[in-house]
Structure 1
Amino acid sequence: MGIARKFAEHITGLGPDIMTEEVNRWALYGLLDYMAVTLAGSDEPCAEIAGKVLGGGSVGQSLIYGKANRMSALDAALINGTASHAHDFDDMNNSMGGHPSAVLLPAILAVAEEIGASGKEMLHAYIVGFETQARLGKGVHMHHYEKGWHPTSTMGTFGATAACCVLLKLDVDTTECAMAIAASMASGIKSNFGTMTKPLHAGLACRNGVQAARLAEAGFIGSPEAFEHSQGFFEVYNGAGTYDVDKVFDGFGDPLDILDPGIAVKQYPCCGSTHSAADVAIGLYDSEGVPLDQIKHVDVWTHPRRLKHTNRPDPKGVLDAKFSVQYVVSRCLLEGRVILEHFDEGAYNDPTVRSLMDKLDAAPHPDMDPESYDHYGAEVRIEKTDGTMISERVKMARGRTTSDPIPNDKMKAKFDACASRIMSADQVNAVYAAIQSIESCGDIREFAAVVENGDADAVQAAE
Structure 2
Amino acid sequence: MLNEILRAVESIKYEDLPADVRNTVTDALTDAIGVGIAGSIEPACDSIVAATAEYNGNHALIGRHGMRRDRASAACFNGTAIHALDFDDTNHPAYSHPSSHLVATILAHPAASGREALRAYALGLEVEARLGRSMNMGHYLHGWHTTGTFGTIASTVAAIVLSGCSDSAAVSALGIAASMASGLRANFGTMTKPLHAGIAASNGIRAVEFASYGLTASANALDGKFGFFDVLGDGTEAAQHECWNTLGEDWETVSAFGLALKPYPSCGATHPAIEAALRIFHRNTAHRDVDIAQVRVDTPAYSREILVYDRPWSGLEGKFSMEYCVASALTRGAIALDSFTDAAVRDPAVQSLLPAIMVTESAEVAGDSEFATRISVSWSDGRSDTEFVPLAPGKRARWFTPTEVEEKFMMCASRAIDRSAAEKIFGACRGIADLASISELTEQF
Contact 1:31 1:101 survives alignment (8 Å): yes
Query: Which segment drifts farther, 6-15 or 196-205?
Result: 6-15
Query: Which segment drifts farther, 180-189 or 378-387?
Result: 378-387
Aligned counterparts, 1:55-454, within 5 A: 55-56=53-54, 58-67=55-64, 68-110=66-108, 112-113=109-110, 116-240=111-235, 243=238, 245-260=240-255, 261-289=257-285, 290-291=287-288, 293-369=290-366, 372=367, 374-400=369-395, 402-450=396-444, 452=445
Which one-letter code corresponds to 1:340 in the other structure? L
SS where residue 360 of structure 2 aligns?
A: strand
Q: C-alpha offsets along residues 107-150 of structure 1, whole Å, 9 cap, x if unaligned?
A: 1111x22xx11111111111111111111111102111111101
Contact 1:119 1:440 survives alignment (8 Å): yes
Q: C-alpha offsets along residues 394-419 of structure 1, whole Å, 9 cap, x if unaligned?
A: 2121212x222022222211111110
Tell me how far apart the structure 2 counterparts of residues 341 and 373 of structure 1 sit (CA, whole Å): 30
Give the deviation of 1:51 after TM superposition.
1.4
Tell me how far apart the structure 1 counterparts of residues 194 and 362 of structure 2 sit (CA, whole Å): 29
Contact 1:379 1:394 survives alignment (8 Å): yes
Query: Which segment drifts farther, 374-383 or 305-314?
Result: 305-314
The number of aligned residues is 442
Residue 459 of structure 1: aligned partner: none
Contact 1:143 1:242 survives alignment (8 Å): no
Query: Which segment drifts farther, 8-17 or 194-203?
Result: 8-17
Q: C-alpha offsets along residues 194-226 of structure 1, whole Å, 9 cap, x if unaligned?
A: 000100110110000101111122222111111
Give the deviation of 1:437 after TM superposition.
1.8
Identity among equivalent pairs (%)? 32
SS where residue 397 of structure 2 aligns?
A: coil
SS where residue 183 of structure 1 aligns?
A: helix
Structure 1's unaligned 5+ residue stretches are 453-463
Q: Find 1:16's aligned residue among 14, 17, 24.
A: 14
Tell me how far apart the structure 1 counterparts of residues 57 and 308 of structure 2 sit (CA, whole Å): 43
Give the deviation of 1:375 after TM superposition.
4.3
Tell me how far apart the structure 1 counterparts of residues 237 and 276 of structure 2 sit (CA, whole Å): 33
Q: C-alpha offsets along residues 428-461 of structure 1, whole Å, 9 cap, x if unaligned?
A: 21211121222211122122112x2xxxxxxxxx
Q: 1:367 to 1:241 in 2, by over 3 A?
A: farther
Which one-letter code corresponds to 1:427 in the other structure? A
Tell me how far apart the structure 2 counterparts of residues 307 and 78 of structure 1 sit (CA, whole Å): 29
Give the CA RMSD over aligned residues: 1.7
Tell me how far apart the structure 2 counterparts of residues 55 and 125 of structure 1 sit (CA, whole Å): 29
Residue 456 of structure 1: aligned partner: none
Tell me how far apart the structure 2 counterparts of residues 50 and 63 of structure 1 sit (CA, whole Å): 14
Query: Which segment drifts farther, 236-245 or 268-277?
Result: 236-245
Tell me how far apart the structure 1 counterparts of residues 289 and 266 of structure 2 sit (CA, whole Å): 23
Contact 1:78 1:204 survives alignment (8 Å): yes
Residue 457 of structure 1: aligned partner: none
Query: Which segment drifts farther, 18-27 or 66-75?
Result: 18-27
Tell me how far apart the structure 2 counterparts of residues 313 and 281 of structure 1 sit (CA, whole Å): 17
Contact 1:129 1:162 survives alignment (8 Å): yes
Tell me how far apart the structure 1 counterparts of residues 94 and 310 of structure 2 sit (CA, whole Å): 28
Give the deviation of 1:263 after TM superposition.
2.2
Q: 1:28 to 1:314 in 2, by over 3 A?
A: same
Contact 2:4 2:245 survives alignment (8 Å): no
SS where residue 379 of structure 1 aligns?
A: strand
Q: Find 1:38's aligned residue among 36, 39, 50.
A: 36
Which one-letter code corresponds to 1:161 in the other structure? T
Contact 2:292 2:378 survives alignment (8 Å): yes
